[in-house]
Amino acid sequence: MEEKNELKQLRDKLLYQKKNGWDVVDEATEKAIFDYCEGYKVYLDKGKTERTCVEYSVELAKSSGFVELKRGMALAPGMKVYRVNRGRAVNLAVIGSAPLDQGISIVAAHIDSPRLDLKPTPLYEDSDMAFFKTHYYGGIRKYQWVTIPLELRGVVAMKDGSMVNVSVGSQPDDPLFTIDDLLPHLGGEQSKKPLGEAIPAETLNILVGSRPLKGDDSAGRVKLAVLELLYRRYGITEADFISAEIEAVPAFCATDIGFDRSLIGAYGHDDRVCGYAGLKAMLDLNGTPCRTAVCVLADKEEVGSHGVSGMQSHFFDTFVDDLCASQNVPVKTCLEKSFCLSCDVTAAYDPNFAEVYEKNNSAMINQGVGLCKYTGSRGKSGSSDAGAEAVAYVRRLLDDRNVLWQMAEMGKVDQGGGGTVACYIADRNIDTLDAGVPVLSMHAPFETVSKLDCYMTYAACKAIYEG
Ligand code: MN
Ligand code: MN
């Protein structure tokens, strides 16, 4: 008996033991997990595009006392500010009690997700059916986007400077859209093709109508009927699509998965699951943090973080510059002392596809937030590879607060890989570590995450802000 105890003690002392989080959390935490995820599901349904996600994030922030950051504003400790970047990204901050030359604590996530964008000239008619041509955004597996219900969300920027909001499919009485696929009876040849070639991008055409305009027998009557409906509802013409951003996104809502309701299935977990964690942790901060806390919700990560609303944009630097200017602190002094949790999803180990994972170094469902020292592909290409000191800092921070975490890599070394915004933040002389929620079926129209992992990522973000 004593010998057994000794062995157990030795094991506990020496081994890095991974545990299912449900065996570890107490009843109060269990309740907090489920409560937290109710708010997250609303966030997902409201924010299926980067623009609608920014709108809802700002709404939540305002109701927690955040005000728009104006250049030259006096900023006292405890003040809560935000700034929207062109409707597609937003930065928020809670001013800390310590001066900005002590650095800031950042959580950065992205709120764009893979989807189908409408082409600039999308509408056409073929065989008395009207379709929208699409151009996919981000890394999608095209075969997953056919024969599912789709909704349209976006904006049309009119020449007179006004903006028209387009949303069809989010309300209960709205019609939906879909992309058709071959029937198995005629799909023999298609089925022989590799998965990546079976559905060419130019066949991802969204069915939007089939009823011709009455009293007209010329060609293009179905297309004209669709345009007529759009003009009546939105006042837009075919040419106005040229200056529009309309996204086709899955029409299903976020929902509990499993008999035990331990998981959430939804569109856009990548990376709103971390965006919400970073935002909610900031809204829930008790009192004034020591260091200034900054939450970054960036756009364009799925296409390389380029562009004016992506993480490579100087929008971030300008934001920090404006904070620093209020205290006459040089930005470089602030940045070199700062820390960032680059909060983005990682691949959850999937026993159905075990061959692409290396189990010892994979993120497991229900084992908490996944920390990634590096991302990238092959020889860590495209990764910022955090310093060992940065990893130790986060280990201590999370362990001190009983936040469940696990160390993770994304798949086998030769299998592939992926990047995050981490390298663009680290490039700015900021210590940065990747961390995020493990996801099953990442980038699919319907992705799955564990509620416990969502909550632990929120708790990790809070730990970063509180320092
Ligand atoms: Mn991501
Ligand atoms: Mn992604």
Per-position DSSP letters for 270-294, written without gaps between them: HHHHHHHHHHHHHHT--S--SSEEE
Residue 255 lies in a domain: no
Judge residue 195's burial from the number of C-beta atoms within 10 Å of its C-beta, 0-12 exposed, 13-18 middle, 19 or more buried. exposed
* pLDDT value at residue 215: 83
| Category of 258 on φ-ψ map: left (φ > 0), alpha (ψ -120 to 50) or beta | left
* pLDDT value at residue 370: 97
- Encode pLDDT of 369-383 as tens digits: 999 999 888 888 888
**CA of 302, nearest ligand number:** 2
Query: Tokens in use for 460?
Result: 């990790």
Percent of all residues in the chain with a pLDDT value above 90, rounded to a whole number: 93
**Do 257 and 263 contact (CB within 8 A), yes or no?**
yes
Residue 454 lies in a domain: yes
**CA of 436, nearest ligand number:** 1
Domain span at 402: 16-113+267-466
**Do 284 and 82 contact (CB within 8 A), yes or no?**
no
How far, in Å, CA of 437 to CA of 432, rounded?
17
Q: How far is the CA of 342 from the centre of ligand 2 (A)?
A: 13
Sequence-distant (6+) residues with CB within 8 A of 269 are 44, 345, 437, 439, 442, 447, 448, 449
* pLDDT value at residue 377: 87
- Encode pLDDT of 123-166 as tens digits: 999 999 999 999 999 999 999 999 999 999 999 999 999 999 99
- Encode pLDDT of 336-360 as tens digits: 999 999 999 999 999 999 999 999 9
Residue 2: pLDDT above 90? Answer: no
Instruction: Quote the radius of gyration of the chain (alpha carbons, Å).
Output: 24
Residue 166 lies in a domain: yes
- In what helix (H) or strand (E) does residue 333 lie, and over which residues does it extend? helix 331-336
User: Does residue 319 share a domain with residue 430?
Assistant: yes
User: Does residue 401 share a domain with residue 276?
Assistant: yes
Q: Calculate the average pLDDT of the chain.
A: 96
* pLDDT value at residue 310: 98
Say which residue, 100 or 416, is predicted with more confidence.
100
User: Does residue 119 share a domain with residue 86?
Assistant: no
Q: What three-state secondary structure class fits 360?
A: helix
Residue 3: pLDDT above 80? Answer: no
* pLDDT value at residue 277: 98
Residue 7 lies in a domain: no
Sequence-distant (6+) residues with CB within 8 A of 286 are none
User: Does residue 31 share a domain with residue 96?
Assistant: yes
Residue 274: pLDDT above 70? Answer: yes
**CA of 140, nearest ligand number:** 2
**CA of 344, nearest ligand number:** 1
**Do 369 and 460 contact (CB within 8 A), yes or no?**
yes
User: Does residue 452 share a domain with residue 321?
Assistant: yes
Buried b (16+ CB within 10 A) or exposed e, 205-228: bbebbeebbeeeeeeebbbbbbbe
For the question of whether the overall pTM of this predicted structure is more than 0.85, the answer is yes
Judge residue 12's burial from the number of C-beta atoms within 10 Å of its C-beta, 0-12 exposed, 13-18 middle, 19 or more buried. exposed
- Encode pLDDT of 440-466 as tens digits: 999 999 999 999 999 999 999 999 999
User: Does residue 277 share a domain with residue 233?
Assistant: no
Q: What is the CATH number of the domain that holds 324?
A: 3.40.630.10
User: Does residue 75 share a domain with residue 51?
Assistant: yes
* pLDDT value at residue 363: 97
Buried b (16+ CB within 10 A) or exposed e, 159-179: eeeeeeebbbbbeeeeeebbb
Residue 411 lies in a domain: yes
User: Does residue 356 share a domain with residue 408?
Assistant: yes
100 pLDDT band (50/70/90 cuts)? very high
Residue 2 lies in a domain: no
Q: How far is the CA of 420 from the centre of ligand 2 (A)?
A: 8
Q: How far is the CA of 270 from the centre of ligand 2 (A)?
A: 5
In 10 A of CB 17, how many CB atoms?
A: 7
| 206-209 sheet: strands from edge to edge | 163-168, 150-157, 244-250, 115-126, 129-137, 206-209
**CA of 345, nearest ligand number:** 1
Tell me which of 184, 218, 250 is where a domain ends.
250
- Encode pLDDT of 50-84 as tens digits: 999 999 999 999 999 999 999 999 999 999 999 99
CA dist 178 to 88, 207, 269, Å? 26, 6, 21
Q: How far is the CA of 417 from the centre of ligand 1 (A)?
A: 12
**Do 303 and 75 contact (CB within 8 A), yes or no?**
no
* pLDDT value at residue 442: 97
Q: How far is the CA of 213 from the centre of ligand 2 (A)?
A: 42
Q: How far is the CA of 274 from the centre of ligand 2 (A)?
A: 12
Q: What is the CATH number of the domain that holds 125?
A: 2.30.250.10
**CA of 372, nearest ligand number:** 1
Residue 184 lies in a domain: yes
Residue 390: pLDDT above 70? Answer: yes
Residue 216: pLDDT above 90? Answer: no
Q: How far is the CA of 302 from the centre of ligand 2 (A)?
A: 5
Tell me which of 219, 250, 281 is where a domain ends.
250
Residue 1 lies in a domain: no
Tell me which of 190, 222, 250 is where a domain ends.
250
23 pLDDT band (50/70/90 cuts)? very high
Residue 1: pLDDT above 80? Answer: no
User: Does residue 453 share a domain with residue 327?
Assistant: yes
User: Does residue 188 share a domain with residue 96?
Assistant: no
Q: How far is the CA of 153 from the centre of ligand 2 (A)?
A: 20
Kindly tell me the sign of the dihedral angle through the C-alpha atoms of 422, 428, 85, 369.
positive
**Do 112 and 267 contact (CB within 8 A), yes or no?**
no
Kindly tell me the sign of the dihedral angle through the C-alpha atoms of 125, 126, 130, 131.
negative
Residue 306: pLDDT above 80? Answer: yes
User: Does residue 141 share a domain with residue 97?
Assistant: no
Which has the closest alpha carbon to 145: 69, 207, 187, 194?
207
User: Does residue 431 share a domain with residue 332?
Assistant: yes
Domain count, the chain: 2
